[in-house]
Amino acid sequence: MRVKWFARTVLPPLAVLSVVLGVWTFVSHVVLSPRRRFLLPPVDEVVRVGFADPDNLAELLAALALTSRVAGLGLLISVVLGVGLAVLMAQSRWLERAVYPYVVVVQTIPVLALVPLFGFWFGFGFASRVLVCVLLSLFPLVANTLFGIRSVPAAQHQLFDLHRAGRWTRLWKLQLPAALPAMFTGLRIASGGSVIGAVVGDFFFRQGEPGLGVLIDQYRSQLASARMFAAVILASALGIAVFVVFGALARWVVGRWHESADG
């Protein structure tokens, strides 16, 4: 069973990663001339300069810690606001019609247009970076939670009607448990958006400790491509890590009673 699980789950992404690394190495060493190799530094140089050098590694890890705090706090605020709004809108069609269009508007406004305004209003520090994360991760949580609550089969509502269950009993014991798969789907999408927001916010808000976005921009201006690729890899790894963690949490909470937990 473990061999089949490894061949089915772990081997395919490893095979794709091997192909990507092979193409990367070929382009760096064969296609690009030594003077243009900064465009795509070799894999071994990225590892040696970005991760094997203690000073560079310490700088990257400190930036990763700040980006993780910003993304985590922004995601936590989004979960509270998003799930709370979805629950309230599910209880009132009038409230849904009044509020949901503005939730959509927040999602459709280009984030780069609002980031400078956040800086003017709230300063260019930690709080503004968190707000960018909330902006990017709120809509998936509202939309998926509301969809999950609205998708409870009518037969199950009729069963609760027979037992004369109240609105909050119905919400707590029927609608929220049934909405869990959709909620976790929204949470996984929102977690990636929160990481993106933390990195994007760094490009604009440069006060305080530097995050991964600040380092990426600094390395770009210095043409330190190996260190820039190392910072990009860490940012990607953070996004993948939170997605995997919430995927595992979804399987643990939802269990095997729903088909979305398979695989």
Q: What is the pLDDT of residues 236-248, one digit of tens each?
A: 999 889 988 888 8
149-177 average pLDDT score:
75
Question: Which amino acid is residue 194, in one-letter code?
Answer: S
- pLDDT greater than 50 at residue 170: yes
**Model confidence, pTM:** 0.85
Tell me how far apart the alpha carbons of residues 90 and 175 are, in angstroms, rounded to a whole number.
Answer: 10
> Are 197 and 135 a contacting pair, CB within 8 Å?
yes
User: Domains along the chain?
Assistant: 1-40 (no CATH), 43-261 (1.10.3720.10)
In the prediction, which pLDDT does 31 show? 81
- Judge whether 75 and 188 are in contact, CB under 8 Å: no
Where is average pLDDT lowest: 45-54, 150-159, 195-204?
150-159
Does the structure show a pLDDT above 50 at 62?
yes
Confidence of residue 263 (pLDDT cuts 50, 70, 90): very low
Would you mind telling me the total number of residues written for the chain in this entry? Answer: 263
For position 105, what pLDDT does the model report? 85
The mean pLDDT value for 51-67 works out to 89
**Cβ-based neighbours of 82, under 8 Å, separated by 6 or more:** 137, 138, 139, 140, 141, 142, 145, 186, 190
The pair of three-digit structure tokens given for residue 136, joined into one six-digit string: 């990017």
Mean pLDDT of 231-259: 82
Please tell me which residue, 10 or 229, carries the higher pLDDT value: 229
Scanning 27-110, the segments in alpha helix (DSSP H) are 43-46, 54-91, 93-108
Of all residues in the chain, what percent carry a pLDDT higher than 90?
Answer: 19
Write out 218-242 in H/E/C secondary structure: HHHHCCCHHHHHHHHHHHHHHHHHH
Output the six-digit token pair for 88.
């309230």
Cα–Cα distance between 226 and 53 in angstroms, integer?
12
Nearest CA-CA partner of 212 in 226, 230, 231, 228? 231
The predicted-structure confidence for 91-134, as pLDDT tens digits, reads as follows 888 888 888 888 888 888 877 777 778 878 887 778 888 888 99
